[in-house]
Amino acid sequence: MSEVERIGPQALPALQEQVEAILAEAARQGASACEVAVSAGQGLSTTVRQGEVETVEFNRDQGFGITLYVGQRKGSASTSATGEAAIRETVAAALAIARHASEDECAGLADAALMARDMPELDLYHPWSITPEQAVEQALACEAAAFAADARIKNADGTSLNTHQGCRVYGNSNGFIGGYASTRHSLSCVMIAEGEGQMQRDYWYDVNRQGELLADPAGIGQRAAERAVSRLGARPVPTCEVPVLFAAELAGGLFSHLLAAISGGNLYRHSSFLEGALGQCLFPEWLSLDERPHLPRALGSAAFDGDGLATYAKPFVEKGELVSYMLGTYSGRKLGLPSTANSGGVHNLFVTHGDEDQQALLRRMGRGLLVTELMGQGLNLVTGDYSRGAAGFWVENGEIQFPVQEVTIAGNLRDMFRQIVAVGRDLERRGNICTGSVLIEKMTVAGS
């Protein structure tokens, strides 16, 4: 893709004009307030399997979503079409919905005085000059390295390279318009091992704003193969109550459950076990969770939230204590609290970690279960009860003994949070939550 073809910063002025046109049309049709998000993106995706190319796809999409208000009534509509007719029709559809909606005293735009003003440069746009042929070549090299890593790798379940660049502009009738261009590139490999009367599947991947900084394709393939082979011979263990170590690539899920429990939507609906928990000590005193939304090139960085409010660095947990909920404008109004500029979610959450790597945490654990895969959605957010299918490795005397499958791990998130013994320095940076492996003092492991 040439620079001319790319959807990047040069597309922002046209998208901003479109936002202004939509806001003007909403006002013309009688909306008392309006907000709109316009996006455009394009990408290349290729998948190979067993040395053959399965797909090479180029995609390009655009569209906008609009939310408008008639007094305290709200209506929303979206479209992938462009042009004046599409704008008129979509605004009319949203207005029709708003006029049939019930009044909601909390509905409406955020206060104009709170809108983001200074936009930090977050360096999120790094287009990757890779051709479809080069993408296929990298994916094939990744898979070939996986097959070469071990003779027990007998099959592949797909190796994919994806690259995407796009722009998004948000604006509202309080006078705010902000936009940014961003990129995201990834390479993943899923392999199948056979041996000891079993077939086992596992994967590895990398993701980055900068394609040139992705991990070496051969290294990703080898890691996927090693993980698949290491699971051969897996078996259940007898039901027991032991320490559990969540591998870093899974540990972020524990903290995503916390974010769900402290999110305004679940709190005002009275569907969270952490309702009323502000000010309570939920974690050990050494543990803090803080948001850093302005990190250059980070996958979760953003200058403003979904309401147009300026994002800012802040803790959610400080020295074990829950010091902030996660609120947007609407949920804040429902709870009688100010927005925390988290409409749309959190931006780069960092978890306190210690000096120990995963091997050191295994030694500290002594006997227990290292979890490397979770299955199912066994979380009751109302009670905090947690129960999920798991696979991983049994540990004795601080050393891995054999792979484990067909077990369930169970506990309650309040207990699990309090019983975090340590967080490793093996940080997982491929997402929005940065944490190392997490060692929990005890959980129920239900097996044979």
Which pLDDT tens digit goes with each residue over 214-244? 999 999 999 999 999 999 999 999 999 999 9
Residues in the chain: 448
- Give pLDDT, residue 2: 37
| Cα→Cα distances 325→72, 239, 278, Å | 25, 36, 7
Residue 3 pLDDT greater than 60, yes or no: no
345's tokens: 């979610």
| Pair 326, 340: CB distance under 8 Å | yes
What band does 82 get if pLDDT is binned at 50, 70 and 90?
Answer: confident
- Give pLDDT, residue 8: 87
127's tokens: 């287009």
Which pLDDT tens digit goes with each residue over 146-182? 999 999 999 999 999 999 999 999 999 999 999 999 9
Give backbone dihedrals phi and psi of 268, rounded to 5 degrees, phi first: -75, -20
Strand arrangement of the beta sheet that strand 321-322 belongs to:
321-322, 314-318, 289-291, 349-351, 433-434
| Pair 268, 331: CB distance under 8 Å | yes
- Give pLDDT, residue 1: 40
Average pLDDT for 39-59: 97
β pairing state of 438-446 and 420-423: antiparallel
CA nearest to 167, candidates 306, 1, 347, 8: 8
Which pLDDT tens digit goes with each residue over 262-279? 999 999 999 999 999 999
Residue 4 pLDDT greater than 80, yes or no: no
What pairs with residue 445 in β-bridges? 240, 409
Q: Which residue has the tokens 């979610």?
A: 345
Residue 415 pLDDT greater than 50, yes or no: yes
Which amino acid would we find at residue 348? N
Average pLDDT for 87-105: 96
Q: Which residue has the tokens 């990408």?
A: 43
Which pLDDT tens digit goes with each residue over 109-155? 999 988 999 899 999 999 999 999 999 999 999 999 999 999 999 99
DSSP string, 389-443: EEEEEEEETTEEEEEEEEEEEEEEHHHHHHTEEEE-S--B-SSSEEB--EEEEEE
- Give pLDDT, residue 376: 87
Q: Which residue has the tokens 């983001």?
A: 116
| Cα→Cα distances 426→21, 202, 247, 356, 378, Å | 48, 20, 9, 8, 26
Residue 387, burial from CB neighbour count under 10 angstroms (0-12, 13-18, 19+): middle
Residue 275, burial from CB neighbour count under 10 angstroms (0-12, 13-18, 19+): middle
What band does 5 get if pLDDT is binned at 50, 70 and 90?
Answer: low
Supply angle C-alpha 260, 262, 268, rounded to 5.
Answer: 100
Region of 400 (left: φ > 0; alpha: ψ -120 to 50; beta: rest) is: beta
Mean confidence (pLDDT) of the chain: 96
